[in-house]
Amino acid sequence: MGYRTTVDATHGVVELRLFDALSHDEHVAARKELIDTCRDRRIRNVLIDARDLIVPRDASFMDRFDFAESWPDVAGGMRVMVAGVLPRDADTRKQVMFGDTVASNRGLLSRAFDSTEEARAWLRTAGS
């Protein structure tokens, strides 16, 4: 499993770390676990650390688009703020930025960063 969900209760942030090559189904499962954790803990600030993520070469465009487009629906009315740390891998970075744009255009409040420090700082200021 190429993901891990943790809770930073002190700062009110649910953190999802993505690593290795995740399949589409694993991405869906990771997001469900993330949203369920947010809902259970009543936390709306999310940090997704994708620095070590590699999107498989066989990932279809439609799977990536559908995944990104469905973020607001999957959240089920819960308004989460997502700070994402971009992947180091250049091809994966492009795909993640595409997904972020699609999700933002569908109503997800998100922003991409190059470091976890920048992402956490944005969540502290934007989430207050």
What span, in angstroms and rounded, lies between the C-alpha atoms of 55 and 4? 16
**pLDDT of 128:** 56
Each residue's pLDDT tens digit, 53-99:
988 777 788 998 999 999 888 888 888 999 999 999 998 999 899 99
Alpha helices in the chain (DSSP H): 24-41, 61-69, 71-74, 90-105, 116-126
Residue 109's beta-bridge partner residues? Answer: 81
First to last CA, the chain: 33
Each residue's pLDDT tens digit, 27-61:
999 999 999 999 999 999 999 999 999 887 777 88
Contact 19, 3 (CB under 8 A): yes
Contact 48, 81 (CB under 8 A): no
**pLDDT of 41:** 96
* Mean pLDDT across 97-111: 92
Domain residue spans of the chain: 3-126
Q: Are strands 45-54 and 13-21 parallel, antiparallel or unpaired?
A: parallel
- Write down the architecture of domain 3-126 according to CATH: 2-Layer Sandwich (3.30)
- Residue in the structure block whose two tokens are 């969540």: 123
